Amino acid sequence: MLPPIPALADYGISPTHGFLPEVLPLTRLPDPYYNKWEAITANLQALILSKRLRGVVDRLPVLSTIGLEHDAEWRRAYSLLSFMAHGYIWGGDSPSDRLPPAIAVPLLKVSQHLEVLPVATYAALCLWNFKPLFVDEDIDNLENLATLNTFTGSLDESWFYLVSVAMEARGAPIIPLMLTAVAAARQNDAPTVTRCLTTFAERLDDLTNLLQRMHESCDPTIFYNRIRPFLAGSKNMAEAGLPNGVVYEDGSSDEPYRQYSGGSNAQSSLIQFFDVVLGIEHRPTGEKRGESEREGRTQAPKHNFIMEMRRYMPGPHARFLGDVQAVANIRDFVEDNRTARPLCLAYDACLSMLRALRDKHIAIVTRYIVLPSREVRARSRSRSPEATRRKLNLATASRQPQGIAYDVRGAVAAQQQQKQAEKIKGTGGTALISFLKQARDETGEPAVEEWTRRFMSRQVRTEGQGDFFAGKPEEGAGLPVEEVEVTGLAGIWTIDDDVGGICNY
Ligand code: HEM
């Protein structure tokens, strides 16, 4: 007996909106009991700017979750509390390693209810944080979207979230479509599978075009220095001032330090759905094709970042991916029908389009993270420590030259922190661009047609060099080549100079 094909309704997934909620996110909690949460998030930027957020939150009463009724209310509460939490932690001269009860207690309750982790995940920042400008227009159109909450109030931050929202909405119909394809493959119905795959490939192209629009209204410098620091989690954050993580003050006798990754699009269930349904396998970072079989391993022992990110998805969405994995048959079906050219071509087209999307994404990461991190390092070398000592967070942490501590709380604390940082270093250590390139290359591996395989495994220096947005080769010239750590969004990575100056992939 084959396992049943998952029904979207069982996982709270919408046939039209996909992983975005079927009911649009609430713009405010209906119960006036929560007015204080609403007022704080409505004024978040001003409170952060004036450095008054912590004081306000410290005086806030601990509100119960009893007034939350429908799922949409719980989701709004989660998003509000996540923004408040990250604003509280990162919105001062140095980060706070304690989250006061007024945030910690309800955040833990709401997260448990929604089966999400109590941090600003992709769900808090994107999936449950948008509204259409005109309700009668589609939400897969960037011109019809606005954010509900931001840390900075900048258009750049809104745009950063909204590109993802539009991609989720545009990609949503692929989910039921590909479940139809799975059912058709069970019936040996090649024409239907082919039709589904062709539509899938076309949509993927739309998604890449949407991704590319990131450049229109999100400035890399603002993203790197202003937005990214608020997205940071509490894991591997020693250099940014959180050597142990964050204590959630929930009033229990045991309040351990908690460590969570920050919010990242790597927590998008949509992209992982594409991989799963197409039978694309992502090996642990650094592992080459066939390596695990040769070594006779059944369980991947190395760090598999992509799988780890499933923990940061809403529970039902992560379960859905696992259940789709159990029924994913398209790759086998295509391999068993190699003589059906249109089927094979349609399958390979999907792989090729998804690979192209990852290619564009690598160019974005280069422009938004790799290049600014180099600029910041170059600048910090030419500046006095006093000039950069004002603030400690993710942006300033990357500026920290070897041997100079930036802890504003004094030399002793700084030394301890530095020691901790050194210890924690190395738990990351995976090269960012290598990781992304591996994920991209794995996308092409299942290709069936000989020419597609050749085309996708070619080693050319294409993307980036000719990519207007990724910058000119001269931009990185003159900077010393060295291995440095950089915090991506959810992960800590090394900047690998195998990107050879700039965008050499
Ligand atoms: C300014 C825009 C963006 C930046 C700077 C960025 C940066 C990153 C970084 C640093 C990673 C590595 C993991 C981590 O540290 O979190 C990553 C992974 C990832 N990002 Fe983005 N990202 C951006 C936009 C997007 C968008 C709009 C999508 C939506 C498709 C996306 C999808 C992914 C996926 C799926 C991964 C996991 C790796 C993979 O599956 O290839 N990113 N991104």
- pLDDT-derived band of residue 403, with 50, 70 and 90 as boundaries? very low
CB 182 within 8 A of CB 197: no
Give per-residue burial for 315-346: e unless 16+ CB within 10 Å, then b.
eebbbbbebbeebbbbbebbeebeebeebbbb
Both structure tokens of 185: 């493959």
- Of 218 and 416, the structure prediction assigns the larger pLDDT to 218
Most confident by average pLDDT, 41-50, 230-239, 489-498: 41-50
Task: Confirm whether 304 is domain-assigned.
Answer: yes
- pLDDT-derived band of residue 219, with 50, 70 and 90 as boundaries? very high
Task: Confirm whether 131 is domain-assigned.
Answer: yes
CA of 463 to the centre of ligand 1 (A): 16
Task: Confirm whether 81 is domain-assigned.
Answer: no
- Asked whether residue 499 carries a pLDDT value surpassing 50, the answer given is no
The model's pLDDT over 96-124, given as tens digits with 9 standing for 90+, comes to 999 999 999 999 999 999 999 999 999 99
- Asked whether residue 473 carries a pLDDT value surpassing 60, the answer given is no
- Asked whether residue 463 carries a pLDDT value surpassing 90, the answer given is no
Which region among 164-173, 343-352, 444-453 has the lowest average model confidence (pLDDT)? 444-453
Q: Is 303 annotated as a binding residue?
A: no
CA of 370 to the centre of ligand 1 (A): 13
- Of 80 and 416, the structure prediction assigns the larger pLDDT to 80
Task: Confirm whether 185 is domain-assigned.
Answer: yes
Report the nearest atom of ligand 1 relative to the CA of 309.
37
CA of 469 to the centre of ligand 1 (A): 16
- Dihedrals φ, ψ of 23, to 5°? -85, 130
CA of 145 to the centre of ligand 1 (A): 20
- Asked whether residue 472 carries a pLDDT value surpassing 50, the answer given is no
Look up the CATH number of the domain holding residue 269: 1.20.58.480
Identify the bridge partners of residue 152 per DSSP, sorted by sequence position: none
The model's pLDDT over 261-306, given as tens digits with 9 standing for 90+, comes to 999 999 999 999 999 999 999 998 888 887 765 555 444 445 689 9
CB 275 within 8 A of CB 456: no
- Asked whether residue 173 carries a pLDDT value surpassing 60, the answer given is yes
- Asked whether residue 457 carries a pLDDT value surpassing 90, the answer given is no
Mean pLDDT of 116-138: 98
- Cα 224 to Cα 393: distance, rounded to the nearest angstrom: 12
Report the nearest atom of ligand 1 relative to the CA of 491.
15
Domain that holds residue 461: 1-18+127-219+259-505
- pLDDT-derived band of residue 490, with 50, 70 and 90 as boundaries? confident
- Cα 370 to Cα 432: distance, rounded to the nearest angstrom: 9
pLDDT of residue 386: 61
Instruction: Confirm or reject: Cβ of 488 under 6 Å from ligand 1.
Output: yes
Task: Confirm whether 206 is domain-assigned.
Answer: yes
- Asked whether residue 419 carries a pLDDT value surpassing 70, the answer given is no
- Residue 137: CB partners within 8 Å, gap ≥ 6? 144
How many domains is the chain partitioned into structurally?
1
pLDDT of residue 450: 84
Instruction: Confirm or reject: Cβ of 370 under 6 Å from ligand 1.
Output: no
- Cα 464 to Cα 305: distance, rounded to the nearest angstrom: 24
Task: Confirm whether 210 is domain-assigned.
Answer: yes
Task: Confirm whether 287 is domain-assigned.
Answer: yes
- pLDDT-derived band of residue 196, with 50, 70 and 90 as boundaries? very high
Chain-centre distance of CA 23, in angstroms? 23
Task: Confirm whether 117 is domain-assigned.
Answer: no
The model's pLDDT over 315-372, given as tens digits with 9 standing for 90+, comes to 999 999 999 999 999 999 999 999 999 999 999 999 999 999 999 999 999 999 999 9
Which region among 62-66, 237-241, 496-500 has the lowest average model confidence (pLDDT)? 496-500
- Asked whether residue 214 carries a pLDDT value surpassing 60, the answer given is yes
- Dihedrals φ, ψ of 470, to 5°? -75, -10
Instruction: Confirm or reject: Cβ of 48 under 6 Å from ligand 1.
Output: no
pLDDT of residue 411: 43
- Asked whether residue 133 carries a pLDDT value surpassing 80, the answer given is yes
Instruction: Confirm or reject: Cβ of 270 under 6 Å from ligand 1.
Output: no
Report the nearest atom of ligand 1 relative to the CA of 487.
15
Instruction: Confirm or reject: Cβ of 163 under 6 Å from ligand 1.
Output: yes
Report the nearest atom of ligand 1 relative to the CA of 492.
15
CA of 119 to the centre of ligand 1 (A): 18
DSSP class of 7: P
- Of 386 and 47, the structure prediction assigns the larger pLDDT to 47
Instruction: Confirm or reject: Cβ of 19 under 6 Å from ligand 1.
Output: no
pLDDT of residue 384: 64
- Residue 208: CB partners within 8 Å, gap ≥ 6? 353, 356, 357, 360
- pLDDT-derived band of residue 501, with 50, 70 and 90 as boundaries? very low
CA of 285 to the centre of ligand 1 (A): 15
Instruction: Confirm or reject: Cβ of 489 under 6 Å from ligand 1.
Output: yes
Nearest to 406 by CA among 242, 246, 240: 240
Mean pLDDT of 65-83: 98
The kind and range of the H/E element at 451 are helix 450-456
